Structure 1
Amino acid sequence: MVDAVVSFVVQRVGEYLKNEAVFLRGVRGEVESVKKELEWMNCFIKDAEEKQVDSPLIKQWVSDIREIAYDFEDVLDEFTLQVHDKDEEGESSERKHGLFTAIKKSVAKSSRKGREKLTTYNIGKKIESLKKGLNDVSQRCELYGLRDINIKRDEDCHAFRRMKQLRKTTSFSFEEKVVGYEDETNKLLAKLLADEPRRYVISIWGTGGLGKTTLAGKLYKSSAIKHKFDCCAWVSVSQHFNIEDLLLRIIKSFGFPAKKLKGMSEEDLERYVHESLQGRSYLVVIDDVWHKEAWASLKRAFPDNENGSRVIITTRIKDVAERSDERTYVHELRFLKPDESWQLFCDKAFWNLSIDEGLERLGREMVEKCRGLPLAIVVLGGLLSTKKPQEWNLVRDNIWQNLSNDSIQITYLLALSFNDLPYKLKLCFLYLSHFPEDYAIDTDKLIRLWLAEGYIPHNEEIMEDVARNYLNELINRSLIQKEKTWLGKVVTCRIHDLLRDLSIQKATELNFIHSYDEIRRSSTHSSMLSCRRQAIYSGMNGIAWLQQCNPLLRSLLIFFLKQEGAMMSQLVSNLCTTFRFLRVLEFQHYRNTQSSWCLPKDIDKLIHLKYLGLRDTLIYSIPESILNLSNLETLDLNDDPFCCLYLPTEICKLKNLRHLIGELRGQYLRIDNMTNLQTLISVQDDTWTQTNHESLVNLRKLHLCLNRESQRNFTFDSIAKLKSIQILWVDLSKNHFFSTLQPLSHCPHLRDLSLCGKIEKLPEDMPVLLPNIEHLSLQSSELVDDPMPVLEKMLNLTVLALRHGCYCGKKMVCRANSFPRVEILTIETLYLEEWQVEEGALPVLTGLELINHRQQFQLPERLKSVPRLG
């Protein structure tokens, strides 16, 4: 686990050597030397942690290396600050002398060189101290024989044997009585018993503890299965597997004669299984698969006799499930429904207790916290069944700690998924411990935070795309749950409280993140004085808590803060002078409706800052000094349309800015040549009309609000110059209208289009002009003709919204087989009297929202069973 931290620091040091080469010229060799030593040590860390997890010597050794890595990063950041401050000091001195600046210019240069030498000397001494620390760690490694870790066999390690045994026992210990999943069982049983003669794989995937093995076991023991197949076998694979061992266990499970098998080669064992299965129909369950290679290595042993044989694979990883075989049915196992969760809990908790109103209330509260995870519910029920009724409150107050203490299975089974992650994904997962329980995490915000922290590598790919892949990988590995999706993209996500607890535990062990929860009056660990990332959940006591925090803090997220505007300004000013190493400063869900405030000019002291989040804070003004934050990538500001926000006009000086978000109305901003800008929300007339649009080469998401009389007839000519645009929202004021949509045909990546303003008539060639549009929203269009005959030809549409004032007609028709991909449909029915939906139209519709729904409006019969939204 420490390898994640050390690898990250090594990556950051590489960036320093590349980007700060001028400043590091006096100590570059020393910096590279420490970097190389950390790289070598990191080769041993992961092996050491895995093979001697119970060794206090190993734990102390990797802890020492971790702290040196943290200190090394601190030294480099501090050096950058010193150089910056001395340059600022020199510039201030020159400005102060006015007319004498030119005369003293050469003196200023020579004095600056002297200051650079002094600064380089300071960092040189600190790096020398770090190298000595690394040398001491290496000597202790030799002294205590820790180098021998690499020649020890896995089987010689007690901890490894213990975990391997636990993995075996947990994989095959499915319940005799299975609660819930009746629909899942029937669907999969039908697949197993289908008439299809060819062998195919059924992959069941989902998070650890969800019941995949239990469900597979229920299918395996079904009487219908016993009558269908000539022979059945079950084998558990897990993360570390040996093909010969698996084949031997499969032979044993099938009940085939096992004489003279010992010592046979893998190829001979494959041939034996293959010959033994000839002419037979079989079912084999391959449980707990972590890698695609497992089934790929085994499948040669299983003949396809076209007699209906089946293979069931259970896995936590979506990619493994989908790529198991060329003929695979993938089934994502859902979480239990509330009624199923309660039934399972009652079976475990009340077998020796009488249920009463008080216990039921407490029980339901705790079961809800389990969020449908069967393992958590089973352990909770078993734990409470041993408690006296008066002790239930104590369990509820510390539910996750109680469950982890009561069951080694929970901690171990969930930790397996974390341990299997590459180091870059480990850091991204640990970062989730910043967020409160049951928190809906905005994925765009999360991605920008990961970028600011430096978790995403700088390469030829766009970093946001890499980060999105990281997010999807964590989802596909069942470590994050999708909540809301849009256009196939996850918009918000959640982390199950048990997995959040795991991330907090791992982050605590690494001294990675510290959090203060005022409601619980608790913090995640006591070593906060050296921790470099802080999260605070609500209240003034949390702000006071900051006084004890590490001045080397890199990340500060404050949730649910309530302060007056003047106090808010003073708070931020104090943060800027105290925590000058900050890369991330974020205020989420600030609650105050009484006063607005101005960002203090001290903000320019945070020269390392990459992310500044001030949404929902009623901020109204940003000082000129923010233009000195040359590293800033995200500026996420007030999104209240009724609160005017003023930014410095020369915002284009922030050359590294990638995301500018806020109600940027009522002012002119220079955004020319912001070649890194990807998100711009939302700008108004003057800013847009006076911009060189061709210079915004990477702009992907744009929200325009146009009100000027000169924009009454809006054209998309400027948009056509945005070659990277993917998401476009344009809001026109009343009495303004859109002219031709033809220029949008030059935007090949455009897939999300939202237009608010008059459109005289939808052009017949709209499907040809906009062939890639997946999400279309029209509002205030005042269309007279039924828009459906045109829109139904846009075959890629998945979300269609015809909002307020879009269509003024009384009749609308969705013809047969139209809108083949539309999943979400929003319709205003204020004027609508008749809506015909013919056979085969809207075949995959999963959500319907009706706006201004009148009582006399009759919903088409075919749509009455579609879930209603809004």
Structure 2
Amino acid sequence: MVDAVVSYMVERLGDYLIREATFLGGVRSEAVSLKNDLEWMNCFIKDAEEKQVDNPLIRQWVSDIRDIAYDCEDVLDEFMIKVHDGEVTPDVLKAEGEESSKRSQRLLTSFKNSVAKSSRKGKEKVTTYNIGKQIEALKKRLSDVSRRRQEYGLENINVKREGESSAFGRLKQLRKTNSFSFEENVVGYKNETEKLLAKLLEDEPRRYVISIWGTGGLGKTTLAGKLYNNSAIKQKFHRCAWVSVSQDYNTQDLLGRIMKSFNSGNTTEKFETMSQDDMERCLHKSLQGCSYLVVIDDIWHKEAWASLKRAFPNNKNGSRVIITTRIKDVAERSDERTHVHELRFLNQEESWQLFCEKAFWNLNIDEGLEKLGREMVEKCGGLPLAIVVLGGLLSTKKPQEWNLVRDNIWRHLRNDSIQITQLLALSFNDLPYQLKLCFLYLSNFPEDFEIKTERLIRLWVAEGYIPHDEEIMEDVALNYLNELINRSLIQKGQMRFGMVGTCRVHDLLRDLAIQKAKELNLVQFYDELRNSAHSSKVSCRRLAIYSGMKGTLWLQQCNPLLRSLLFFDLYRDRPTVEQFIPTLCTRFRFLRVLEFERFIARSWSLPKDIDKLIHLKYLGLRDTVNIPESLLNLSNLETLHLPEELCGSGAFLPTEIWKLQSLRHLIGARTGPLRIDNMTNLQTLKTVRDDTWTKTNPETLVNLRELDLSVYYEREKKFTFDSIAKLKSIKILTVTLSNDHFFPTLQPLSYCRYLRHLCLTGKMEKLPGEMHVLLPNVESLWLAKSKLVDDPMPILEKMLNLTELILGYGCYSGKKMVCTAKGFPRLESLKLIMAKDLEEWQIEDGALPVLRGLQLSGYSQFKLPERLESVPLLP
């Protein structure tokens, strides 16, 4: 894990060397040397943690390096604060001939004004000499850590001593041992078993792969074992084999175990003496003319099956391969012919049935125990492994002890089962370092919290977890999010515009993230309602306050070097918090992230000292707030998230908001005109009123990707899409008409070639007949209050790339809809809301071929077409 922190710090050092070269001046070479030393040291850390995690000397060694990495960040950030405060002598600006830059000139002027002021206060001047001494001290500490490797015999850190066994190795052996210890009576997955069994037994002669994927502990191995041991399977296939792969596999070893499995453990043939090529030829020859089934359990990399499949002939006699994996990409790309099955979580009744089989075999169920049991089972979130361990644990407890388990459920499960934590930890350990930090950041959020993915992405960017390269950081962060979803570490929530709109973390995985973050001294949280404060270490860098602030005494004791401060629910503590906010801006000056999720009902004011937070990149204010002009001094601010509901007078922003040139996301309802013309870095603008938009030159907003525009009153008559057509990067567009006027022609939108998601709320005389030509790339379409008289389906079904369609309240007032053959070829999600007059919906054969989700609301007398009865209903 520490490799993630050190790698992150190496990247930050690189960023400083590029962005702050002017100020680092004569110590630039020392900073480069420090960066190189950290990179060199990081080469040893990962193996040290994985292979000798139980060695206390190793743990201390990597802990020392972690602390040095944190201190590197502190030295650089503190230096920039002193630069901002004018505590730097002007000679620092003369470095490397860059004094003529515009930025240096502006700062030089402000420094001259502030140096005299700071001198009167007796403040110490800071020069490059001072920071140079601090960097030299850090380099010496790294040198001492390196020396201690030799003193304590850690020079062969990557070589495991005789007799030592890593946690990873023990778990790997545990998986091999338990590969065939399947439950005879498996609860749940009846339909899945029947469906996959039919795929295995069907007449298709070509060999193909069936991939079962899902999170650790979901029952992939159990389901594969249920199929493997089915009597019909034994009758169909001449040869059957099972092999468990895991992360650290050896192809030759796998081939040997498969050959032994095919031979029912007969080791008369000397497989051990064969080369890998000989094994492949021998196995291929032995399977000629046979129908075979092989289960490749627990694959982490698609190369594992690729390295084996040459040994398996395609006899065209119905042979099959079953793969189990936690990773979607591995499941989908294992073979050219693959049937992918994503294993679901157990539903409520299945979970309770499984629990009862484990917990009540020697206890009588009474009303009190059932209530406690159901409460704990719900916390397991449908994860079979957690339910089995919980049931087994409670079966050994007296009824009066159940309350104790309920109050600390995850601690009890960890203590009772070595397998449950280590199985989930495997997924974390397999992550590249960038994804490790992104996953650990999720420990900031409260239990069962529904996280908006856009918010999470912007927080990751603000924290510096996303590398600065040629790609747009938000796109890289979205890829990271999808990777964590595909690796079964994050669960999808609601969808928005055809994308994952919200996500959540299973409680067991959240507990794992908290545990790992605690080891890294990365996150702490405070929850007064539950009387809990996780990690009281003063050196933690991130703090989340879920509820309560008891006189703010606890926060006053926290680390002044905090980088992230998230308030989730302080509604009851308004007077106390209001008093503390001015102190916050002077005490926690290293903050990059500051957010108030739910604060107070009435208007409140940000302090003028907000501009002291010079490192601030993300500011989230979810209640009505008065914003001072000093906000415009936050030159690093990238996200400003205001309340999205327009309450009272709304949020008044300084009219010169354009001075925030680093701003990428300006979000929330607000009143009053704004000048945003030259905000060239702006990617998100929502919600903006037309009185601002009409005074804006859209051609200057070259990076704007999402626009939410509200058009009011008499200006609706003059509104056109001409200005929006000039937004060359626009991907998501929402336009709302507030009155009874009609939308003008959509023709100008044909120039928005990157437009993917369109939401229009307001009247339309009719849909353009050539809508599929005007908007060929639109994937998600939302129409509301359109008051269409003609059936919209004949026009919309021709939009070939449409995957999500929402016909909202008041969209269509007709009584009949028809979807013709081959209509909506790619539509996956369809929502029809409050079309009360609809009486008939005809769907011809071949229409909606890939529809996976359907939502109908507000229909009193309407019969669902038979063709759609099997489509899952969306919430």
Under TM normalisation by the shorter chain, which class is it? over 0.9
Identity among equivalent pairs (%): 70
Deviations 1:467-524 (A, max 9, x none): 0100011111111111222344111111111111100000001101111122221222
Using the TM superposition, give the Cα deviation of residue 304 of structure 1 relative to its aligned residue in structure 2, in angstroms: 1.0
From the superposition, tell whether residues 810 and 178 of structure 1 become closer, same or farther in structure 2 (CA, over 3 Å). closer
> Quick check: 738-747 or 727-736, which moved more?
727-736
Counterparts of 2:316 and 2:267, CA distance in 1: 24
Using the TM superposition, give the Cα deviation of residue 869 of structure 1 relative to its aligned residue in structure 2, in angstroms: 5.6
Counterparts of 1:732 and 1:811, CA distance in 2: 27
Which residue among 393, 402, 405 is the counterpart of 1:392? Answer: 402
Deviations 1:626-658 (A, max 9, x none): 111111110000112233110011111111111
Counterparts of 1:316 and 1:542, CA distance in 2: 46
Instruction: Please say if 1:734 is aligned against 2:768.
Output: no
Counterparts of 1:289 and 1:497, CA distance in 2: 24
Corresponding position of 2:784 = 779
Which residue among 731, 752, 759 is the counterpart of 2:764? Answer: 759
> Quick check: 716-725 or 116-125, which moved more?
116-125
- Is the partner of 2:273 in helix, strand or coil? coil
For the aligned residues, what is the CA RMSD?
2.5
Q: Is the 8 A contact 1:713 1:737 kept in 2?
A: no
Deviations 1:262-306 (A, max 9, x none): 321100111111111111111111111111111111111111111
Counterparts of 1:266 and 1:864, CA distance in 2: 52
Counterparts of 1:629 and 1:431, CA distance in 2: 24
Corresponding position of 1:559 = 568
Counterparts of 1:534 and 1:380, CA distance in 2: 31
- Is the partner of 1:737 in helix, strand or coil? coil
Instruction: Please say if 1:212 is aligned against 2:217.
Output: no
Counterparts of 1:832 and 1:193, CA distance in 2: 44
Instruction: Please say if 1:127 is aligned against 2:132.
Output: no
Corresponding position of 2:806 = 801
Corresponding position of 1:629 = 634
Using the TM superposition, give the Cα deviation of residue 159 of structure 1 relative to its aligned residue in structure 2, in angstroms: 5.0
Corresponding position of 1:660 = 666
Instruction: Please say if 1:606 is aligned against 2:613.
Output: yes
Q: Is the 8 A contact 2:491 2:504 kept in 1?
A: yes
Instruction: Please say if 1:819 is aligned against 2:824.
Output: yes
- Is the partner of 1:10 in helix, strand or coil? helix
Q: Is the 8 A contact 1:196 1:308 kept in 2?
A: yes
**Which aligned pairs between 1:476-487 and structure 2 lie closer than 5 A?**
476-487=486-497
Figure out how many residues of one structure are paired with residues of the other and give that number: 851
- Is the partner of 1:731 in helix, strand or coil? strand
Counterparts of 2:760 and 2:450, CA distance in 1: 28
Contiguous gaps of at least 5 residues in structure 2: 91-105
Counterparts of 2:484 and 2:138, CA distance in 1: 35
Corresponding position of 1:94 = none
Counterparts of 1:803 and 1:373, CA distance in 2: 35
Counterparts of 2:573 and 2:551, CA distance in 1: 16
The residue identity in structure 2 corresponding to 1:801 is I
Which residue among 266, 269, 275 is the counterpart of 1:265? Answer: 275
Corresponding position of 1:650 = 656
- Is the partner of 1:829 in helix, strand or coil? coil
From the superposition, tell whether residues 585 and 807 of structure 1 become closer, same or farther in structure 2 (CA, over 3 Å). same
> Quick check: 66-75 or 511-520, which moved more?
511-520
Instruction: Please say if 1:596 is aligned against 2:594.
Output: no
> Quick check: 364-373 or 640-649, which moved more?
640-649
Corresponding position of 2:455 = 445
Counterparts of 1:173 and 1:562, CA distance in 2: 52
Which residue among 570, 579, 596 is the counterpart of 1:570? Answer: 579
Q: Which runs of 4+ in 1 moved over 6 A?
A: 87-90, 104-107, 109-117
- Is the partner of 1:76 in helix, strand or coil? helix
Counterparts of 2:457 and 2:112, CA distance in 1: 46
**Which aligned pairs between 1:817-856 and structure 2 lie closer than 5 A?**
817-822=822-827, 823-832=829-838, 834-850=840-856, 852-853=858-859, 855=860
Q: Is the 8 A contact 1:400 1:498 kept in 2?
A: yes
Corresponding position of 1:95 = none
TM-score w.r.t. the length of structure 2 is 0.93
Using the TM superposition, give the Cα deviation of residue 581 of structure 1 relative to its aligned residue in structure 2, in angstroms: 0.2
TM-score w.r.t. the length of structure 1 is 0.93
- Is the partner of 1:800 in helix, strand or coil? strand
Counterparts of 2:725 and 2:762, CA distance in 1: 19
> Quick check: 332-341 or 513-522, which moved more?
513-522
- Is the partner of 2:571 in helix, strand or coil? coil
**Which aligned pairs between 1:641-720 and structure 2 lie closer than 5 A?**
641-643=646-648, 644-665=650-671, 667-720=672-725
From the superposition, tell whether residues 456 and 106 of structure 1 become closer, same or farther in structure 2 (CA, over 3 Å). closer
The residue identity in structure 2 corresponding to 1:315 is T
Q: Is the 8 A contact 2:87 2:126 kept in 1?
A: no
Q: Is the 8 A contact 1:712 1:735 kept in 2?
A: no
Corresponding position of 1:345 = 355
Deviations 1:575-614 (A, max 9, x none): 1111000000111133x43x21122211111000000111
Using the TM superposition, give the Cα deviation of residue 109 of structure 1 relative to its aligned residue in structure 2, in angstroms: 10
From the superposition, tell whether residues 812 and 242 of structure 1 become closer, same or farther in structure 2 (CA, over 3 Å). closer
The residue identity in structure 2 corresponding to 1:193 is L
Corresponding position of 2:248 = 240
Deviations 1:62-114 (A, max 9, x none): 10110011011101000000010017999xxxxxxxxxx9xx99976997999
Counterparts of 1:833 and 1:190, CA distance in 2: 38
Q: Is the 8 A contact 1:154 1:160 kept in 2?
A: no
Deviations 1:149-204 (A, max 9, x none): 13447986465643432232244432232111111111111111111111111111
Corresponding position of 1:289 = 299
Instruction: Please say if 1:546 is aligned against 2:555.
Output: yes
Corresponding position of 2:62 = 62
Counterparts of 1:261 and 1:844, CA distance in 2: 48
The residue identity in structure 2 corresponding to 1:627 is L
The residue identity in structure 1 corresponding to 2:462 is A
From the superposition, tell whether residues 842 and 304 of structure 1 become closer, same or farther in structure 2 (CA, over 3 Å). closer
Corresponding position of 2:480 = 470
> Quick check: 342-351 or 814-823, which moved more?
814-823
Q: Is the 8 A contact 1:785 1:809 kept in 2?
A: yes
Counterparts of 2:75 and 2:564, CA distance in 1: 17
Counterparts of 1:566 and 1:367, CA distance in 2: 39
